[in-house]
Structure 1
Amino acid sequence: MTQSSVLINASDVTLAGTLVVPDAAKAVVIFVHGSGPMDRDENSKGAKLNIFNTLADAFAEIGVASLRYDKRGVGASGGDFKRLRQSEMVADLVACIAWVQAQGLGPIYLCGHSEGTAIAPAAAAQADVAGLVLLCPYLTSGPDLLRWQARNAQTDVAGLKGLTGLVARLITKVFGGPVALQEKLIARVLGGNSDFVWLAGKRVPARWLRDFLTADVAALHRTNQRPTLVLAAGRDCQCPPADAADIARMNPQARLAQIDDLSHLLRATSEFGFMDYKRQLSQPMDTRVAGSVCAWLAEKT
């Protein structure tokens, strides 16, 4: 097996990534990030998920190569993340697909997590892709998804105990609770065309968010009729688990899998909500995720 750092030209920027090639590779997977300033391992400053590097190792063991890359404007990749648009994320992925095709590693699969489950089918519609893996996908519209997440966060705040809970509830009285803040954010982003908006004293990048809020995700999933593994996390508080079944029903070549005690971070949990995230991040990704994806890939390749 070889693992090498690579550079990929994507229109106006250069993307930096890691290519893993096992001996006698029979297929290759390109990873597609979730939301936020994610690097090639799907890590950010505030959350070390280590999802893509973990999956890359598992895929190599079954003879599947992989490419993972730093998102535009993150890590060693060029560009300005704060002005990133969804269309640029799709274009970057299409450029990666073309680059991987030139390596001659076999059929190409895309593995998206969270927002990556919308970027992957959008790119697949423009390229030669054998199939998709969708981890924690969503079908709900952008505005309704943000509202659903905010309601979950507000429930968490209401349940906080002691001084922490008191402080959190005082803050919500000053700035508004998660639901009210999310409504303000949606209105401000959709009500203008500026690159940034202000919310609760913070400057929020608006270009990507405007694309996210107006994207027709349902159309993307209806268009995808490739072999697809749709994996739902039963305790996902960021992407409704029920969306996965609806996505699978749109595609006769889709297979639905659900891990009931899994969170959006692909960790095991007994709780629904954001409050267990800190503990979860101290644990590795649940091995059942790699097991499910590897079994499906082995069958397809």
Structure 2
Amino acid sequence: MNIDKAHSDQTYWHCYHDPSLLARVLAVVQTRHLQSTGVELHIDLYQQTDPAAPVLILNHGGGGYGGLFVGLALAFYEQGYTVIVPDQKGQGRSGGAMGDFTVAEAVQNVVDVAAWAMQEFAGPLYLCGGSIGGGLTYAAAAVMASQGKPPLAAVCLNLYDFGDPVTGLAFTRFAALAKIPGLARACRTISGLLTKLAPRLRLPYRPLARFENMMDERDLAMGFYAKWQADPLTLRTVTARYFASMLNTAFAIPLEANTDVPVLVINQKRDKMVQPRLTLECYQRLSGQKDYVEIDWGHFSLLPQFNAELIVLGQQWISKVTRAV
């Protein structure tokens, strides 16, 4: 597909996917809307006819939205799951000014979608997310656990602690600065002051991280990066309050205190966007029932082989957790 041709904001995501996959997705995906954090969230729903089918919520990261996850969503749907893929506030097709949100609001979006899912469907609930969405997945599961309603399990493709300014800074293009003693905490203080003075000051988003390394060479060879750069629904700027929240939003239950949420952490050995050691260090801090797997991929991929590997790992983990209940 020629990405220079006109696309509506709502359908641009079609250009990322093979026509045969797209046809299968469009045959089953439905749209729902949900009020959360003062805006209307857009939700892609892949619904099983059996209301007791297991339910999986997929959470996107900061470089994307639900339209990029359709291959993975469809793969889980074809394994018998009802799959729910929300766009977070100020991202993708959801309401709110683009790029104007906080980590806490994104977490609340996931919590609200989970509450809606538990009302709508009778099956066991699982949370899954990748990149920043991996951290949001644990953060939302922790909020739910603190309310006495944890998901049955979580799968985190990457795990980052947004309450630790060292980890938060290391996530960015300026990761080397995190090694300077005290600098990360100084950045947290300065960003907090900036937020008080000008919370909606616009900052360029794409220079903050190595988005050119979001995929490894297999996806890049298929022209992904050019499509992503032209996507009208991917973030170009974010507000100062978002940046500050990346450095100062503690989990409702710290990683070290987790007891109620079984967590599978998946780490990508080829990741050149974010150092794999960040996810490994967060996993090592994590308490409770957990498991860790390394895969031979970059930060993210749209390829069916990538989705198939995640399906196998997710199914194995969910089966293990279910047997233990």
Deviations 1:227-280 (A, max 9, x none): 111100012234432343444442231111111x31112x4xxxxxxxxxxxxx
Show structure 1 runs of 5+ residues with no match.
42-49, 155-181, 268-280
Residue of structure 2 equivalent to 1:273 = none
Residue of structure 1 equivalent to 2:48 = 22
Aligned partners of 1:208 and 1:9: how far apart in 2? 20
CA drift of 1:3 comes to 3.1
Show structure 2 runs of 5+ residues with no match.
1-26, 178-183, 208-235
> For the Cα contact (< 8 Å) 2:56–2:82, is it kept in 1?
yes
Aligned partners of 2:187 and 2:237: how far apart in 1? 11
Q: Which amino acid aligns with 2:294?
A: Q
TM-score scaled by length of structure 1 = 0.69
Aligned partners of 1:198 and 1:21: how far apart in 2? 38
User: Does residue 270 of structure 2 align to residue 235 of structure 1?
Assistant: yes
Q: Which amino acid aligns with 2:159?
A: P
Matching residue within 136, 147, 154 for 1:119: 136
CA drift of 1:82 comes to 2.8
CA drift of 1:6 comes to 0.7
Aligned 1:194-273 pairs, distance under 5 A: 194-195=198-199, 196=201, 205-216=239-250, 220-225=254-259, 226-249=261-284, 250-259=286-295, 261-265=296-300, 267=301
> For the Cα contact (< 8 Å) 1:142–1:215, is it kept in 2?
no
SS in 2 for 1:84: coil
| Structure richer in strand, relative to its length | 1
Matching residue within 74, 82, 94 for 1:65: 82
SS in 1 for 2:90: coil
Deviations 1:196-240 (A, max 9, x none): 26679x975211110111233696323433111110001223443
Query: What percentage of residue pairs aligned between the two structures are identical?
Result: 26
Aligned partners of 1:92 and 1:203: how far apart in 2? 20
SS in 2 for 1:9: strand
Cα distance, 1:262–1:152 mapped onto 2, change above 3 Å = farther
Matching residue within 130, 137, 154 for 1:132: 154
Aligned partners of 1:73 and 1:145: how far apart in 2? 20
Cα distance, 1:224–1:29 mapped onto 2, change above 3 Å = farther
Deviations 1:27-54 (A, max 9, x none): 1111122124x3213xxxxxxxx3x212
TM-score scaled by length of structure 2 = 0.65
CA drift of 1:183 comes to 11
CA drift of 1:147 comes to 4.2
Residue of structure 1 equivalent to 2:311 = 290
Residue of structure 2 equivalent to 1:274 = none
Q: Which amino acid aligns with 2:44?
A: T
Q: Which amino acid aligns with 1:72?
A: K
Deviations 1:115-139 (A, max 9, x none): 1222222222332211111002224
Residue of structure 2 equivalent to 1:178 = none
Cα distance, 1:57–1:148 mapped onto 2, change above 3 Å = closer
CA drift of 1:145 comes to 4.3
CA drift of 1:107 comes to 1.5
CA drift of 1:148 comes to 6.2
Compute the RMSD of aligned alpha carbons: 3.3
How many residue pairs were aligned? 247
> For the Cα contact (< 8 Å) 2:165–2:185, is it kept in 1?
no
> For the Cα contact (< 8 Å) 1:235–1:263, is it kept in 2?
yes
